[in-house]
Amino acid sequence: MTGNKAVAYVGKGSVEVQDIDYPTFKLSDGPGVNQANVGRECHHGVILKNVATNICGSDQHMVRGRTTAPEGLVLGHEITGEVVEVGRDVEFIKQGDLVSVPFNIACGRCRNCKEGKTGICLNVNPDRPGSAYGYVDMGGWVGGQAEYVLVPYADWNLLKFPDKEQAMEKILDLAMLSDIFPTGFHGCVSAGVTVGSTVYVAGAGPVGLAAAASAQLLGAAVVIVGDLNGDRLAQARSFGCETVDVSQGDPKAQIEQILGVPEVDCGVDAVGFEARGHGREAGTEKPATVLNSLMDVTRAGGALGIPGLYVTGDPGAADEAARVGSLSIRIGLGWAKSHEFTTGQCPVMRYHRRLMMAILNDRVQIAKAVNATPIPLSEAPRGYHEFDVGAARKYVLDPHNMLHTSS
């Protein structure tokens, strides 16, 4: 048996690389593990040697102390790896396969999974529908910012890359399939983006940039990205997006300067519950700002895709209502404009195969769009810090020094 190093949350604002147990096909107790899952047999799973495992903005919410995540929780839900051990009941996935892991953990057997709603599987989290690796209140499945990780229901969950050599040539792009590329794409599909659409994406972090690239892939005529961070706005402009600096004020007037009208066809919220105010309130947390501004700038009859994370428990919120996920949303405005809203985890399996084919056939350069930047696992604390202070990068952890051939 080999060792295993992993990134763990150790207190507000802090992560560290720790030695943890090598995974087995039986869930053990540990920080954040749901007690009803302890002892759960997973002979339907595989053990992966992680090739790439990314730092996500959703991880940052926990590290900032904005959730009820316990200290010691092993982080990481964006996983790409090579199969090194195969469980007794796995039929089709083989040792040596190179695979992408959807961040949603899904059984493939329940009603929701059979309806394609893999983000709200009924069988993997004893507390509520939906689960993910290394995430608070998601059942306690050990995270994948590690050298090795267990993936349950492998035949169902894993996306095998058809050609291992070709995949390694594009591994940084393919590493985005576990979460942010499908998530951004889902936000655009939910918002109704199609050929000729005008689109406003709120947020120029990695999910927002992935959404912007997805809007282009879907045929949008104009993609506008709004943010407070100048470096991230420059990253959006680097692949053909228009940008709005919301530190200068409400986005509506700036959108009108770009389009000639103050509204777009489609709105995407890639910010979530830690939103900041616009203009003079740019330094103040205003969790409903993005949702309300999207309703304001999206035309009547349009739609809002909301892949940005909202939570039911936020101990760091500014007021009592926000601490339980209750925000001052202008639902009357959305009602008056007949808006459609789509929220929740992206069902990654709905999109990842098609997006894989787009990557392998050079239809999109998602790693370039999000500025994917490999770093060793040992440098995860630095990656978390730089990402937290606004680096215009998507940090990709490289546990086994295998990303040197990436494009």
pTM: 0.96
- 33, 175: one domain: yes
Asked whether residue 405 is domain-assigned, the answer is no
- 275, 379: one domain: no
| Angle at alpha carbon of residue 183, lines to 87 and 108, rounded to 5° | 35
- 39, 150: one domain: yes
- Digitized pLDDT (tens) for each residue of the chain, 407 residues in all: 578 999 999 999 999 999 999 999 999 999 988 899 999 999 999 999 999 999 999 999 999 999 989 999 999 999 999 999 999 999 999 999 999 999 999 999 999 999 999 999 999 999 999 999 999 999 999 999 999 999 999 999 999 999 999 999 999 999 999 999 999 999 999 999 999 999 999 999 999 999 999 999 999 999 999 999 999 999 999 999 999 999 999 899 999 999 999 999 999 999 998 888 898 888 788 889 999 999 999 999 999 999 999 988 888 887 888 889 899 999 999 999 999 999 999 999 999 999 999 999 999 999 999 999 999 999 999 999 999 999 999 999 999 999 964 33
Q: What is the pLDDT of residue 362?
A: 97
- 86, 159: one domain: yes
Q: Is 377 exposed, middle or buried (0-12, 13-18, 19+ CB in 10 A)?
A: buried
- 192, 289: one domain: yes
Domain ranges, residue 192: 180-343
Q: What is the pLDDT of residue 98?
A: 98
- CATH code, domain carrying 144: 3.90.180.10
Nearest to 351 by CA among 189, 114, 133: 189
Asked whether residue 194 is domain-assigned, the answer is yes
Asked whether residue 403 is domain-assigned, the answer is no
Asked whether residue 282 is domain-assigned, the answer is yes
- 277, 198: one domain: yes
Domain count, the chain: 2
- 96, 17: one domain: yes
Q: What is the pLDDT of residue 404?
A: 64
Asked whether residue 366 is domain-assigned, the answer is yes
From 326, 343, 360, give the residue that closes a domain.
343
Q: What is the pLDDT of residue 275?
A: 87
Q: What is the pLDDT of residue 295?
A: 98
- 246, 353: one domain: no
- 187, 175: one domain: no
Q: What is the pLDDT of residue 395?
A: 98
Q: Which runs of consecutive H residues, i.e. helices, occur in 238-365? A: 251-259, 289-297, 320-323, 331-336, 352-360
**Strand ranges (DSSP E) for 64-214?**
79-86, 98-101, 148-151, 159-160, 198-202
From 343, 361, 383, give the residue that closes a domain.
343
**Residue 397 in tokens:** 């952890």
Asked whether residue 406 is domain-assigned, the answer is no
- 137, 245: one domain: no
- CATH code, domain carrying 210: 3.40.50.720
- 58, 169: one domain: yes
3-state secondary structure at position 99: strand
From 343, 362, 383, give the residue that closes a domain.
343
- 338, 363: one domain: no
Asked whether residue 290 is domain-assigned, the answer is yes
Q: What is the pLDDT of residue 1?
A: 52
Q: What is the pLDDT of residue 123?
A: 97
Asked whether residue 368 is domain-assigned, the answer is yes
